[in-house]
Amino acid sequence: MLWCGQCKPCADGYPNHCERLDEIGFNVNGAFTKYIVVPSRTIWSLEPLRKRYSEDFIFLAGSLVEPTCVAYNAVIERGGGIRPGDRVVILGGGPVGLAACAILKRAGASQVIISETQEDRGKIALKLGADYHINPMKEDFAERVLEITEGMGADLFMEATGLPEVVYPGIEQVIWEGRTLNSRVVVTARAEAKMPVAGEVLQVRRAQIIGAQGHSGHGTFPRVIECMASGMDMTPISTKKIGLHEVPENIIRLQTDRSNAKITYIA
């Protein structure tokens, strides 16, 4: 994200909401080049990662800093973080959802639950820090969460599926039937569909719905890099490595094939 640093959101400290936001790979060319010129304010050193990774792997690990920062911004910065011992539920096992499992476990969550239809992604989540994997195609999401938590529900939910109309009723059921007050639902995935929200549930259970966008600001990048340097290994998220000539076909395949968590282009 290339934020201008001059508009009101940037001046107020919210670069993720820059009024003149540019994004490499979207409206700025050069995402697949070996070298690209960008403003120095958007650059962070990967030197701390040398504590954990060899020269061959430091840039692979570095490529996973960005999606991990999106997750950090969602669950820590926007979502307000958690207290050690809290219970959390992540819906969606894409790169951001998987990264959230690692971040929240490292933050002290007693139970990290991932809801994901793809078994391979569920296994990655368990490797990164999730304690339980729910497949909502095979079991009732809300009933299983309440069973795992012994009726408590969760302090924090992250919606990372992009299907709010499908998954929110289950979240709402857990909030309504669980014993935990002040639950927060952080909406991370972009979607045009509206969430079917019952205001009474938010009122009676003191719950909140919070939107999260982007990865910049608030010291997020250096904090994520330091977490990775101190042992939070995100490389299991990268399940396939490809060359430049393979990029077009894999972009098309990703639209329907969710067997890979993250495909990494190696220049």
Q: Domains of the chain, with CATH numbers?
A: 1-43 (no CATH), 48-267 (3.40.50.720)
Q: Residue 222 carries which side chain, given as an amino acid letter? A: P
| Spatial separation of the C-alpha atoms in residues 41 and 216, rounded to whole Å | 10
Q: Which residues of the chain have pLDDT under 50?
A: none
How much is the pLDDT for 31? 83
- E-strand stretches of the chain: 87-91, 111-115, 132-134, 156-159, 184-187, 208-211, 238-242, 262-265
| Spatial separation of the C-alpha atoms in residues 261 and 238, rounded to whole Å | 7
123, 236 contact by CB (below 8 A): no
How much is the pLDDT for 56? 84
Q: Is the pTM of this model over 0.75?
A: yes
Quick check: helix, strand or coil at residue 154?
Answer: coil
Kindly state the DSSP code that residue 37 receives in the 8-state scheme: -
Matching residue, tokens 């999401």? 141
How much is the pLDDT for 67? 95
How much is the pLDDT for 66? 94
How much is the pLDDT for 90? 98
How much is the pLDDT for 32? 83
**Half-sphere exposure (Cβ direction) of 158: Cα atoms closer than 13 Å:** 37
